[in-house]
Amino acid sequence: MQILLYTAVLLYLQERASAEPKAKCPTRCDVSTCPSPSCPSGYVPDRCNCCLVCAQAELEPCGRKEDLPCGDGLECKQPNSKRLSKGFCRCKFRNDVCGSDGKLYGNVCQLKATSRKALQQGHPGITQIHKGPCENSTGNQQVHWLKK
């Protein structure tokens, strides 16, 4: 029994020693040193609450201690409602939406992410026209999925 306990303690200490130490937060925040990321899913404060970093996008991991929060309009969904397990960011709204660009999006979060990306590239933003398919003359509708 003592050997088992000794082995468990040794493994724990070895794991702690090999883990990368987290960088300490500065005593004063210098925002001039912060990067300027382009984030289709929105921004969240970093762990030091100094700089803005990219929030997790749809289908990115969430729910664990080291994970950043999900982006705008997204929520962390763990499989089988297990609170401490790895989850994935999902849009709170599940309806297809028609964008001002005439494209059908799987949900409003995908539309907003595409709009942010367009704005960051100097193109016009995209707004939601209505829920459901876009009305077009061909009747041929394809859902526009956000590409990373």
Query: Each residue of 34-64: pLDDT tens digit?
Result: 988 889 899 999 889 999 999 999 999 998 8
Which among 68, 147, 67, 52 has a CA at the least distance from the CA of 105?
A: 147
Token pair for 23: 């960088």
Q: With pLDDT > 70 as the criterion, what percentage of the chain qualifies? A: 72
Dump pLDDT digits (tens) for 113-134: 999 999 999 999 999 999 999 9
pTM (2 decimals)?
Answer: 0.68
77 beta partners: 88
Q: Which domains does the chain have, with CATH numbers?
A: 34-92 (4.10.40.20), 97-144 (no CATH)
